């Protein structure tokens, strides 16, 4: 009973938030709605007993990814209305057909795979975080390390890409100096 | 209706995925396109966690972790590239990125 109420409440909230993200014309509304939707998604993980995943969802998505987007948006002109694309009807038709196919596949998947057996069955009396640790550091150690290296590569790439010409600090320069540099740039 | 089964979660996941797909189709601004891809990744994560829970198997949750790691690194690299592109052209619309067109 409680689970059903929670599921339907959070399902409606998530769908509404993501719809706002997709349809709004203001980038800031989209960002806020996306952050809210991410938090509501973590509620499903808590409902499913994946506590650790829910905590990671809040920390990584609403903590790291959203703040990264917020800082990234300071570079762009976000007050302007977002222009929409006019797609060809063939593309829309093809992709909607693909989505419908996915829907049917998702309906039938549990029926077809009813004889599935657990690969790493959950142990009785062990909490979710402990189980995650046991599986992650034994069966999935190599992918875990690869993911760590990938995050390091992404961090260095982000710093190098966005950090170009950041050797001059605008906050430490005098007003005239900034104006002179802007004039030189305009002339060039 | 009152009992939540695996199919409820899978249908929710499909609906969220369809919303993300609509976003990918109609957005021209690259930042908004990134938002739509985040929705797609999250929809898949919900399906992974649901299947993991209903079959008593942790593999789904593991893959959800890796999807989150990939999403985080994708945002870092993608935003870096986007900042460089915005500094060079002053626009982040997809239409301006036709320099490789023959």
For A98-138, what is each residue's pLDDT tens digit? Answer: 877 877 777 677 666 666 666 667 677 777 888 888 888 88
Distance from CA of A22 to the nearest CA of B (A): 5
Q: Quote the ipTM score.
A: 0.90
pLDDT for B100 equals: 78
User: Is the alpha carbon torsion for B66, A34, B33, B36 positive or negative?
Assistant: positive
Tokens of A176: 């005239």
pLDDT for A171 equals: 63
Contact A53 B7 (CB under 8 A): no
**Which member of A30, A87, A132 has the closest CB to residue B35?**
A30
Write out chain A residues lying below 8 Å of B12, CB-based. Answer: 11, 14-15, 44
Model pTM score: 0.82
Across A60-86, average pLDDT: 78
Find, in chain B, the residue whose alpha carbon is nearest to that of A15: B16
Q: How far apart are CA A101 and CA B31, in angstroms?
A: 28
Cα radius of gyration (chain A): 23
What structural domains and CATH numbers belong to chain B? Answer: 12-92 (1.10.287.3510)
Write out chain B residues lying below 8 Å of A38, CB-based. Answer: 38, 42
In terms of pLDDT, which residue wins out, B19 or B28?
B19
**Which member of B4, B62, B71 has the closest CB to residue A140?**
B62
Find, in chain A, the residue whose alpha carbon is nearest to that of B72: A65
- pLDDT > 70? residue A86: no
Q: What would the DSSP string read from start to end of A59-108?
A: IIIIIIIHHHHHHHHTTS--SSPPPBP---HHHHHHHHHHHHHHHHHHHH
Give the whole-number percent of chain A exceeding pLDDT 90: 30
pLDDT band at residue B89 using 50, 70 and 90 as cut-offs: confident
């Amino acid at each position: 009973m409680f689970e059903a109420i929670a599921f339907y409440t959070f399902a409606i909230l998530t769908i509404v938030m993501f719809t706002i993200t997709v349809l709004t014309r203001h980038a800031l509304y989209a960002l806020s709605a996306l952050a809210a939707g991410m938090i509501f998604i973590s509620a499903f993980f808590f409902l499913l007993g994946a506590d650790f995943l829910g905590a990671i969802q809040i920390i990584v998505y609403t903590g790291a990814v959203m703040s990264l987007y917020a800082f990234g948006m300071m570079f762009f002109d976000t007050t302007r209305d977002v222009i929409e694309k006019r797609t060809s009807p063939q593309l829309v038709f093809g992709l909607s057909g693909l989505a419908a196919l996915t829907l049917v596949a998702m309906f039938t998947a549990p029926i077809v795979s009813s004889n599935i057996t657990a690969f790493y069955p959950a142990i009785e009396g062990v909490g979710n975080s402990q189980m995650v640790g046991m599986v992650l550091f034994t069966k999935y150690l190599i992918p875990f390390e690869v993911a760590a290296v990938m995050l390091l590569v992404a961090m260095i790439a982000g710093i190098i890409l966005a950090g170009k010409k950041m050797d001059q600090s605008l906050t430490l320069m005098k007003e005239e100096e900034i104006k002179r540099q802007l004039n030189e740039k305009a002339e060039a | 209706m009152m009992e939540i089964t695996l199919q409820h979660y899978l249908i929710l996941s499909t609906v969220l995925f369809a919303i993300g797909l609509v976003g990918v189709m109609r957005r021209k601004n690259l930042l908004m396109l990134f938002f739509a891809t985040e929705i797609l990744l999250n929809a898949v994560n919900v399906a992974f966690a649901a299947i993991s829970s209903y079959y008593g198997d942790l593999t789904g949750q593991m893959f959800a972790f890796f999807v989150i790691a990939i999403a985080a690194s994708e945002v870092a690299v993608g935003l870096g590239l986007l900042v460089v592109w915005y500094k060079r052209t002053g626009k982040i619309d997809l239409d301006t990125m036709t320099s490789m067109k023959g």
